[in-house]
Each structure stands twice: as structure tokens, then as C-alpha cells.
Amino acid sequence: MKKDENEIIENILIQCGIGESIVYCDNFISQDILDSLTMAEIVIALEDTFNIEIDAEEIIPENFINLNTISKLVEKHYN
């Protein structure tokens, strides 16, 4: 994924309540940084920003572990 797109995703995470200092955390799930409501907010923001549709089956913790896994999910639909 391009650097600009990663920066957009970083900003989305920050806007959805993941603090700027923990955006690069290794695991949002295991460290209780991300809950289901925040995950839903992130999905909506990603879909609106990148004009993509993320399938309900893909909205699972494994796809939202960290910035890298979220970027891969977006890239799958965006490219």
C-alpha cells in the first residue's frame, strides 16, 4: 500500500479513538485498545474514505490486529 494511503489509515485510527502514540502498537486486540464498536467505526470510515465495501465476514479481530493488517484489508478491496 502506498505511503499516502497508510497515512490516511493512520488518521482514521486516530479519529476513531486509537491514540496517536499507540497507532503503531503490535496488537490492538490483545492490549484491549480496540473493541467491537471502535472496529465498526473504523470499517465505516475506511469504506467511506476509500469508496470500498468490506464484507461482514471480514470484520473479524484477525483483520484489525494492527495498522499492517488493516492496511492489507483495505488494499485487498482498493486495488
Reduce the secondary structure of 4-30 to three states and give it as a string.
HHHHHHHHHHHHCCCCHHHCCCCCCCC
The CA distance from 57 to 17, in Å, is 23
Extents of the domains making up the chain = 3-78
**What are 50-72's pLDDT values in tens digits?**
999 999 999 999 999 999 999 99
The CATH code of the domain at 3-78 is 1.10.1200.10
| pTM, two decimal places | 0.90
Measuring CA to CA, how many Å separate 68 from each of 1, 45, 57? 10, 17, 19
- pLDDT of 79 above 80: no
> At 22, phi and psi to the nearest 5?
-115, 10
